[in-house]
Amino acid sequence: MTDFTPTEMMTIAAARALSNDDVCFVGIGAPSAACNVARLTHAPDITLIYESGTVGTKPDVLPLSIGDGELCDTALFTVSVPEMFRYWLQGGRITTGFLGGAQIDRFANLNTTVVGPYDHPKVRLPGGGGAPEIASNCGRIFITMALSKRGFVEKLPFVTSMGHGEGSDHRERLGLKTKGPTRVITDLCILEPDPHTKELTVVSIHPGVGRERIVENCGWPIRFAETVIETPAPNETELAVLRDINARTKKAHEGAGPGKEAA
Amino acid sequence: MARIMSLADAVAENVRDGDTVAMEGFTHLIPYAAGHEVIRQGRKDLFLVRMTPDILYDQLIGVGAARGMKFSWGGNPGVGSLHRFRDAVENQWPRPLEIEEHSHAAMANAYEAGAANLPFAMLRGYIGADLPKVNPNIRHVTCPFTGEVLAAVPAIHPDVTIIHAQRADRKGNVLLEGIVGVQKEAVLAAKRSMITVEEIVEELSPPSPNSVVLPTWAVTAVVHVPGGAFPSYAHGYYPRSNAFYIGWDEIARDRETFTAWIKENVLDARPEDYARYAANTLAKVA
């Protein structure tokens, strides 16, 4: 078995969650890497959609932003942003939304808005972007982010996008017919909501990771499912594809920075 | 009919102190040159509107040109924070910034409502989210047919919308291609509009009968500024400078380096300086 980093394991485990039939709304960063590894390995016909309006895109390098030219150049077609959010997302055409976040709680609600009070934030984060409606309108949601005490918190200062709210049947009580978050893929383990309480529960642990490390890196007393499996290690193809696309991406994003050159 | 004019004249005539200004572009075709001219002319008390305020709005906020901002995602895409925006919200530097925050879906709908001359937009949105608790402009309406409760937000009607596009003809008809974002809606929602373009050509020759064209009679001013979207990009002309976006992080982190950068690259610069970026054509990522 080849050596791999926790981040590589995370991306590959996230990629495996997707299938060929998915129509996937892709968040930037870690979700984008996972979605494209899926496309380049076991799910060649997956439809990747970025909120900038690009549908069926097949980027050769990972985009830095949600609207890089690469996404449009390789898309089946590109629509306006209102059309994207109205017809395709709100219209219920997207099977899977893939999100990241700054903070998550035990019911997979996400915060990317503020740390501290909204009116006097300690840290002002970028905000929700497409996430509030991606979270409610996609058939299901996958989330990928590294497990850490800062990220996995007991209580969110702000709910940017709803996961399972207060747990149990909260989504249904608000009239939502979509599933919400069904899997959270971290660098140490995979979590899924408990079928009844909807609390995120460890269902799979990555190779070489002990339970204590997971407990130590989570901001709430994390629960383990009755049956916990070991995540299969990345195979050589998965690693090669991921490393290739990362190398191509790094090369493409390097270049002259904004010194005297820039206007 | 749109007037073809210089950047300085177009900004002087169309952007006024206190205006609600939308400079749109979803990563692509961001009107940097025009925004810099707004800074050079010292416009103040602007209320900025944009779905994805990025570096250009970071610069306008950092020089103190804005009294407020309506937005849905304020970051440096793929890089991190907008440090000038954060400094304004967290420390009120160089002045306090009033914010009205929405989701992308709500902003896109609000621009569309503006273009459609409606007073508000509705969407199935914000369910279970906290933004409605802090933004009094997110309200609800009940469908008169089904009884479903939907989110409602006011339509966006900018005093002036500024965008960048690929080309215009001599009459002032404008063509946009690629990731077209919400620019058509933003122009049609505004009282006045200003469009900078890479090229002015004899015949527009839209590549398809369904091309995105803004006709001259729906536009106020057209300005020829080759390279005017840099470090954003113009599909078919030059690529996005991801290196610039990455490098901006360090410049904007510090008030002094930011201020020095603005002096050298905006206050002491001219619109023609952008032409060098237009020369970087066909550098498409392989």
Which chain A residues are closer than 8 Å to B126 by Cβ? 132-133
Once rounded to an integer, what is the mean pLDDT over residues B193-218? Answer: 97
pLDDT at A260: 36
Question: How many Å apart are CA A94 and CA B125, to the nearest integer?
Answer: 16
A203, part of any domain: no
A78, part of any domain: yes
Which chain A residues are closer than 8 Å to B36 by Cβ? 263
Give which of B157, B31, B103 is closest to A129, Cα–Cα: B103
Which chain B residues are closer than 8 Å to A174 by Cβ? 127-128
Give which of A102, A220, A228, A98 is closest to A158, Cα–Cα: A102
Determine whether A216 is an active site residue.
no
- Closest Cβ opposite residue A162 in set B109, B127, B244: B127
How does residue B279 score in pLDDT terms, banded at 50, 70 and 90?
confident
pLDDT at B283: 44
Q: Is A71 helix (H, G, I), strand (E, B) or coil?
A: helix
B125, part of any domain: no
Give which of B24, B72, B26, B63 is closest to B45, Cα–Cα: B63
A74 versus B284: the higher-pLDDT residue is: A74
A195, part of any domain: no
Interface ipTM: 0.95
pLDDT tens for residues A144-160?
999 999 999 999 999 99
Give which of A20, A32, A165, A3 is closest to A97, Cα–Cα: A32
Question: Residues 10..49 of B with a Cβ closer than 8 Å to A: which?
Answer: 26-28, 32-33, 36
Query: Least CA distance to A71: which residue of chain B?
Result: B179
Which chain A residues are closer than 8 Å to B82 by Cβ? 126
We report the CATH number of the domain holding residue B249 as 3.40.1080.10
pLDDT tens for residues A28-37?
788 999 999 9
B286, part of any domain: no
| Residue B82 near chain A (CB below 8 Å) | yes
- Closest Cβ opposite residue A126 in set B74, B130, B274: B74
Question: How many Å apart are CA B86 and CA B272, to the nearest integer?
Answer: 31
A67, part of any domain: yes
Task: State how many domains chain A has.
Answer: 1
pLDDT tens for residues B39-90?
999 999 999 999 999 999 999 999 999 999 999 999 998 899 999 999 999 9
- Closest Cβ opposite residue B185 in set A63, A82, A90: A82
We report the CATH number of the domain holding residue A50 as 3.40.1080.10
pLDDT at A263: 34
Give which of A105, A152, A159 is closest to A127, Cα–Cα: A159
- Our CA-based measurement puts residue A257 at a distance from the nearest CA of chain B, in whole angstroms, of 5
What six digits make up the tokens of B243? Answer: 């290196």
B78 versus B7: the higher-pLDDT residue is: B7
- Closest Cβ opposite residue B243 in set A53, A161, A254: A254
Query: Least CA distance to A127: which residue of chain B?
Result: B73
CB contact under 8 Å between B109 and A160, yes or no, is no
Once rounded to an integer, what is the mean pLDDT over residues A10-28? Answer: 95
| Residue B50 near chain A (CB below 8 Å) | no
Once rounded to an integer, what is the mean pLDDT over residues A108-137? Answer: 96
Would you say the pTM of this structure is higher than 0.90? yes
A30, part of any domain: yes
Residue range(s) defining the domain that contains residue A170:
6-187+233-252
B49, part of any domain: yes
Residue range(s) defining the domain that contains residue B243:
3-102+157-277
| Residue B108 near chain A (CB below 8 Å) | yes
Question: Residues 246..285 of B with a Cβ closer than 8 Å to A: which?
Answer: 246-248, 251, 261, 264-266, 269, 273-274, 277, 284-285
What is the DSSP secondary structure assignment for residue B2, as one 8-state letter?
P
What six digits make up the tokens of A34? Answer: 């996972």
Question: Residues 154..173 of B with a Cβ closer than 8 Å to A: which?
Answer: none
Query: Least CA distance to B228: which residue of chain A?
Result: A263
Which chain A residues are closer than 8 Å to B239 by Cβ? 69
Q: Are B57 and B64 in contact (CB under 8 A)?
A: no
Q: Which helix (H) or strand (E) holds A173?
A: helix A170-173
pLDDT tens for residues A148-199?
999 999 999 999 999 999 999 999 999 999 999 999 999 999 999 999 999 9
Of the listed A51, A70, A199, A238, which one is catalytic?
A51
Task: State how many domains chain B has.
Answer: 1
Q: Report, in angstroms and rounded to the nearest whole number, the Rg of chain A calculated over CA atoms.
A: 18
Which chain B residues are closer than 8 Å to A92 by Cβ? none
B283, part of any domain: no
B80, part of any domain: yes
What is the b/e burial string over B156-173, where b = at least 16 CB atoms within 10 angstroms of the residue's CB? Answer: bbbbbbbbbbbbbbeebb
Once rounded to an integer, what is the mean pLDDT over residues A194-215? Answer: 98
CB contact under 8 Å between A175 and B241, yes or no, is no
How does residue A254 score in pLDDT terms, banded at 50, 70 and 90?
confident
A179, part of any domain: yes
CB contact under 8 Å between A68 and B265, yes or no, is no
Q: What is the mean pLDDT of chain B?
A: 96
